[in-house]
Structure 1
């Protein structure tokens, strides 16, 4: 959001330099994205009145104007704009003036006609970002007055407001924050009379959607003269990027920018009967102020009269009930709408607006009536209107946030430094909190009442954050950790995940992060998934029970984009169907082709297979794979560690990629941590050399790698240190008498930690293993 420094200065005393202000806000967590200068900071640009206009004799698109600059002389100006009429007051850059961008103005001939200056647009003066035609000033502007007096030089801050700080989406809100950070006093909200229950009525308003709109107010204002806004109002709204429409609409926008509460002005004569806040009817059509027609659903809340909808609640008004130059009477709306409802409506209709931006982040309920009073006062002053003696209200304002307690011991422990309780109390008081209760003769804990505009303060840690933001996060001393071991379970988990990421990236995998929510179309596969009560869209209706579905979506997109090799992993939370328990898991997916070890420098490639997936998992820990059946897999294995099932892996049966098989695995993160812990045992460096022998064999198609390892292990050869599979292929096709066989090749490593082995004893042990393979699993050994 953009903020005018001049406007902020009307509420609070600012630091002396803009750099100091930007640093103050940035260090408090309010990011300044850009700083730009605005306003007509020119001495030689004055208010002039057009007294005559005639066509240019030598150019069809130009006109020759005679203007009065207030100096007693008439000036002839050649102009290309078409949006003016005789009698209008416009900015005149006199000869010698230098405009934005270094443009120097002088007396010159344009197509053979003398021109003594230039009539200016708002963009040429740096007042607005975009402007077509001349800047037409109000008739109250004094001829000869300097434009800089009407549009003072200003500095605009482009501030990134986080979604939880809706209270900062106004000049008053940011000024209030600056006052709290600096210890200054913020000026009170300037408004009109704020009605109480004694002069308000509920007549004329019916709230049928009380959950989505707990409070609604409407005020009738009569005898309105709609027209251009005065220069000060126009300058205010345009300085922060809002286009000036007319005085009534500009006042509504001005109050929203000033106080953060959106209001909306209806043409009262086009709203028939009572106001109804209701759900839209299925298939109901609505023509909005942007000129587009929207198809509404019962999930959308509308403001309606007795016949049809006149506005989409909290988002945008209707074109048929909008304020125009012919409007005589206005109905001013100021209400509270449930943030989730507005967010859903704006998203589903693809209709974002300045109002919805604020409502979906939460507005201050206690600002609803003051904002209405402020807008009413301005409309009456600027348009000469008369407001009704009472305001119509319906519903109840949302209750204030619950109290939050702060333990001063927790404050010191979390920050790592001591802050006196009296200092912490003073800071929280500056942020608008009020002490509700203090416990103990020696003050150890205080309960605080949270102001209505700070619904983000819900926990003790939120109060601690407020204290450190004002105290100065840069004042927290740096500390050197004397211990390098994780201090908590959270630290250990963080370190584990960091190590896993490094290991998997080193293997050539890419980390992705997918949504925690799954689409309705995926519910059939995610049996028992916990569904959301109020989903934002059909693509986000339930909590995921597995990471694999999200990774498959990434594979599908990359396959369509032409990727040849896709190797992905994700570390994230899943939610158990039974009770919604959150579980941290690792998932890996592989698809495509990769250069083999033998041909890595050439163009020859091989398809990724299950053993690539298994190898990636084995690099993380010592796991056992047991063949099993799993829904959605043509080849599946359960993953075990110490006899505990911790995950599964296999080849998917779907056709996600038309050219390559997809392999996936999901494993419990806590089990990986345990496997790594078990693997971290001291092992002395071998003093004596090892000897290696190979075994190549044909086995039946049903004999597995696990069967071979079990057979070799059952030989109980004490000299055998390691067994590795290094080759596998299947014979092409079956014969009439036999099925196709599997060829397996293993490397066996022999070692004794106390002496050097001889070839004879290694050969004897190797022969015994070969014989056991032949006799127990029917292996046909190859020489």
Structure 2
């Protein structure tokens, strides 16, 4: 919320007005975030009020150009004559008051004004727009002041708040969702008063001097299920439709970021900013019959103030007359009763709506507004009457209106003491115990009274306590912890000591946690970069993956309130997020990628949990209250309602695995690199995965490997299917790997390697086998056949062609043989090699290549 400093301190009894930076620090001290302190740049030189006396249209140019005569009193170059100024704006007329920068003026940004010849005329200055004065960003036209603002020739800089040495400042304060009261001068002013221990004058308590209330302003019916807590209406008649908004109000609205429109609309916006109560003004002459507040009916429509026809949802709350809906409650009014430049009879509304209903309506109709922003965060229902009185008094004073004596106050909001919130009982020393600070005697009571609470001291069983009744604008104070927070933040978080907890010996990471961290380090060492993709996925990505209808990965948890409407499911696999990261990087010119992510997925379909306990499809989790700790049965039901969340690691590769350069042509990433990434992960756990061919979407059926450890399927690796790549916009030959870490065995101590001091015997064998014989299967057979002497097997060449025959290929393996206690003889090594070849021939029909 943008807040002018002069307005913020208006109701605070400060002996000396602090600077903008000091006020920002004070708000931060009491728990608010100040995003920016904007100091308006000062204007130096003769910036004056002028009255336009003559306009000459220069029609010989392609764009509108006017030569104006402006009366600037005795401040002009010739006191006896109006100042001649060339201007391109057309939103002013003869007789209007404007702001003129005469030669010698320096505007914000160092823009110096001098007399110069332009468009065939000599321009002795410039007529200024808002952005040229540093007040707002509007450049649609020059600034036209109300007629009675000042006399021509008066100094304009103090009036605009841009005088040298006294320029206005604006604070941009971020308001938390639970502090809706602070979206107003009333709320933030109270916080400033608390920060400086200064008296605060509540603007709602000011008597507006209106006539005594007699009867109702307008017949209003609030239906019980409408979500309207209070609806206050007041009527003003005989309003001068041409009455301008006073400059002081226009200036405050501009600095707060709101565009002035007309007196009636500006007054409602001003009261909203001042008191935090959004208001709406209806043209009473266009309201037909009684007003009814109800839920929208099927097929009802409304044309809102932005001239858009909107179909209403039965969940929407509508303000209606006999013609139908005339307002979308809490969001935007209807065009049929809009206040126009001829409206003289105005019906003012100040209502309080159910926050959730307004939030849903604003998002459903894509209509964010300042009113909806406040209603979503809860508006004080007790301020509605004061808001209508304030608005009516302003219209009477500046618009020559007559305030009708009637006031309508409908809805279930109780009157008097019955409107108070539920009292909260708190031990008097609870803030001291929570903060670990001995606060001065009476500090808790004093701080709670400052925020508006009624406090009664009580004691039971000899323990001092207070019974606190929160004010109507603080519905967030519902438990002792909330009251403690108020005391602590106002006393200052900086006085709470920072004490590190004592480190308990014998604790640390579990072995599973260590392995998980080692996985990240191992993949990073192998050349992969870690990413943190979204844990949610779009339903359509599973179709793009080509999954069968009964594929377990289609059983996903749907989010009730997704952060992104396009990603409404919890991910059942890590691949959607990783592939999104690839698409994003490729779109930004990065073609060679090796990315990985370690994270959990949600699998409600799993037959067993990662802890090994049997588990079927989870049931509905119960809704547990916060008044007390959940029972063991409730905790068990909550856990039973959770889906299985196994820990997985995923990796994707695309482009060049080895870049090309002066050293060579490089090498593209292939499915074998994805398999090698899986081996790297398994090696952290001291495991060697068994690799076999498989058909598993979204991988290519001919380039997909299933990975098993101790007979348990732990994941897949390989090249993704071309149709998947095309559907998701991925580069050709993109490869991926995904393993479930919870299925890998976790050993406290990994098997230590056996190191032999004796030299190895290195032998190569080339085996010819059918092309459908997996290289991994052939390698495993060689290891088994070679026995204990075979230390390592590595595939280093694959050949297919006429020399080996159609449907067959040659696979060359490098064998390393070694004995732990002696030097192998060539005969022993050859015997082990022959045994391995013989077993390969027996199992796979492999023959030694000549």
CA separation of 1:281 and 1:466: change in aligned 2, threshold 3 A: same
Q: Mapping of 1:248-327 within 5 angstroms?
A: 248-278=264-294, 286-294=302-310, 297-298=313-314, 300-327=316-343
Uncovered stretches (5+) of structure 2, i.e. residues with no partner = 162-166, 544-548, 605-616, 619-640
**8 Å contact from structure 1 (residues 691, 749) kept in 2:** yes
Match status 1:169 vs 2:236: no
Q: Which residue of 1 is the match for residue 247 of structure 2?
A: 231
Q: Which residue of 2 is the match for residue 77 of structure 1?
A: 83
Match status 1:146 vs 2:146: no
Match of 1:221 among 213, 233, 236: 236
Match status 1:516 vs 2:536: yes
Match of 1:35 among 34, 37, 42: 37
Match status 1:156 vs 2:160: no
Q: Mapping of 1:637-716 within 5 angstroms?
A: 652-653=720-721, 655-658=723-726, 660-668=732-740, 678=747, 681=750, 683=752, 686=755, 688=757, 691=760, 693=762, 696-700=766-770, 703-704=773-774, 707-708=777-778, 711=781, 714=784
CA separation of 1:71 and 1:604: change in aligned 2, threshold 3 A: closer
How far is the alpha carbon of 1:164 from its aligned partner? 5.3
How far is the alpha carbon of 1:299 from its aligned partner? 5.6
How far is the alpha carbon of 1:326 from its aligned partner? 0.9
CA distance in 1, matches of 2:515, 2:482: 28
CA distance in 2, matches of 1:444, 1:757: 88
SS of residue paired to 1:588: strand
CA separation of 1:148 and 1:576: change in aligned 2, threshold 3 A: same
Deviations 1:251-299 (A, max 9, x none): 1111222233322212122222233445556676544333444455556
CA distance in 2, matches of 1:458, 1:163: 16
Match of 1:67 among 67, 71, 76: 71
**8 Å contact from structure 2 (residues 70, 82) kept in 1:** yes
SS of residue paired to 1:380: helix
SS of residue paired to 1:655: helix
How far is the alpha carbon of 1:188 from its aligned partner? 1.5
SS of residue paired to 1:678: coil
Which is further off, 724-733 or 588-597?
A: 724-733
How far is the alpha carbon of 1:576 from its aligned partner? 3.7
**8 Å contact from structure 1 (residues 404, 450) kept in 2:** no
SS of residue paired to 2:411: strand
CA distance in 2, matches of 1:732, 1:395: 91
Q: Which residue of 1 is the match for residue 202 of structure 2?
A: 188
Deviations 1:393-424 (A, max 9, x none): 235599969969899899978x7x65659767
CA distance in 2, matches of 1:26, 1:55: 54
Q: Which residue of 2 is the match for residue 609 of structure 1?
A: 671
CA distance in 1, matches of 2:833, 2:459: 78
CA distance in 1, matches of 2:9, 2:847: 90
CA distance in 2, matches of 1:758, 1:450: 92
Q: Which residue of 1 is the match for residue 680 of structure 2?
A: 618
SS of residue paired to 2:133: coil
**8 Å contact from structure 2 (residues 295, 314) kept in 1:** yes
SS of residue paired to 2:22: helix
CA separation of 1:278 and 1:438: change in aligned 2, threshold 3 A: same
Q: Mapping of 1:6-17 within 5 angstroms?
A: 6-12=6-12, 13=14, 16-17=18-19
Q: Which residue of 1 is the match for residue 610 of structure 2?
A: none
Q: Mapping of 1:190-589 within 5 angstroms?
A: 190=204, 203-207=219-223, 210=226, 213=228, 215-226=230-241, 227-278=243-294, 286-294=302-310, 297-298=313-314, 300-383=316-399, 384-395=401-412, 418=437, 453=473, 469-470=489-490, 471-473=492-494, 476-477=497-498, 500-506=519-525, 507-514=527-534, 516=536, 518-519=538-539, 527-533=554-560, 539-555=566-582, 564-577=591-604, 578-579=617-618, 581=642, 583=645, 585-589=647-651
TM-score normalized with structure 2 length: 0.74
**8 Å contact from structure 1 (residues 208, 276) kept in 2:** no
**8 Å contact from structure 1 (residues 49, 69) kept in 2:** no
**8 Å contact from structure 2 (residues 330, 371) kept in 1:** yes
How far is the alpha carbon of 1:313 from its aligned partner? 3.1
Q: Mapping of 1:703-782 within 5 angstroms?
A: 703-704=773-774, 707-708=777-778, 711=781, 714=784, 717-718=787-788, 739-740=807-808, 743=811, 745=813, 747-748=815-816, 750=818, 752=820, 765-782=832-849
Deviations 1:489-529 (A, max 9, x none): 8x996x87766555444432451422536447869675443
Give the alignment's Cα RMSD to 1 decimal. 5.1
CA separation of 1:604 and 1:94: change in aligned 2, threshold 3 A: closer
Which is further off, 756-765 or 266-275?
A: 756-765
**8 Å contact from structure 1 (residues 424, 467) kept in 2:** yes
CA separation of 1:597 and 1:111: change in aligned 2, threshold 3 A: closer
Q: Which residue of 2 is the match for residue 2 of structure 1?
A: 2
**8 Å contact from structure 1 (residues 222, 386) kept in 2:** yes
Q: Which residue of 1 is the match for residue 96 of structure 2?
A: 88
How far is the alpha carbon of 1:609 from its aligned partner? 0.9
**8 Å contact from structure 2 (residues 778, 840) kept in 1:** yes
Uncovered stretches (5+) of structure 1, i.e. residues with no partner = none
CA distance in 2, matches of 1:166, 1:346: 17
CA distance in 2, matches of 1:140, 1:544: 65
CA distance in 2, matches of 1:303, 1:379: 23
Deviations 1:581-613 (A, max 9, x none): 262643525354424599995445435215514
CA distance in 1, matches of 2:383, 2:827: 93
How far is the alpha carbon of 1:342 from its aligned partner? 4.0
CA distance in 2, matches of 1:162, 1:721: 64
SS of residue paired to 2:131: coil
CA distance in 1, matches of 2:291, 2:540: 36
Deviations 1:40-60 (A, max 9, x none): 76674344444x325389988
SS of residue paired to 1:35: strand
TM-score normalized with structure 1 length: 0.79
